[in-house]
């Protein structure tokens, strides 16, 4: 296996899911270019911490995993 260590930058989005795209725009457009990390070829993914009752629920919590 070439790179046995698989790292992810992990972030938490709180609130309405309609704002999730803005969180991704910040992560890929602002955070990643200024970070000491580089995106690798794996896909990012999300983990929903609790069941989504409503997309606009301010208590929504989503972990975002960005492969670095």
Residue percentage of the chain with pLDDT more than 70: 94
Find the distance separating the first CA and the last CA of the chain, reported in whole Å: 17
The per-residue pLDDT for 55 is: 95
Q: How many domains does the chain have?
A: 1
Mean pLDDT (whole number) for 18-33: 96
Considering only CA atoms, give the Rg of the chain.
13
Say how far apart CA 66 and CA 44 lie, in whole Å. 5
Mean pLDDT (whole number) for 12-40: 95
Residue percentage of the chain with pLDDT more than 90: 88
Please check whether residue 56 is in contact with residue 8, taking contact to mean a CB–CB distance below 8 angstroms.
no
Q: Is residue 7 part of a domain?
A: no
Q: Is residue 6 part of a domain?
A: no
Q: Is residue 57 part of a domain?
A: yes
Report the chain's mean pLDDT, rounded to a whole number.
92
Q: Is residue 4 part of a domain?
A: no
Residue 33's domain comprises 15-67
pLDDT at 1 over 70: no
């Amino acid at each position: 296996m070439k790179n046995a260590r698989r790292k992810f930058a992990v972030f938490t989005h709180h609130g309405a899911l309609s704002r999730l795209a803005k969180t991704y725009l910040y992560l890929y457009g602002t955070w990643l270019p200024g970070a000491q990390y580089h995106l690798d070829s794996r896909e990012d993914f999300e983990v929903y911490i609790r069941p989504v009752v409503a997309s606009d629920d301010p208590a929504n919590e989503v972990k975002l995993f960005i492969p670095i």
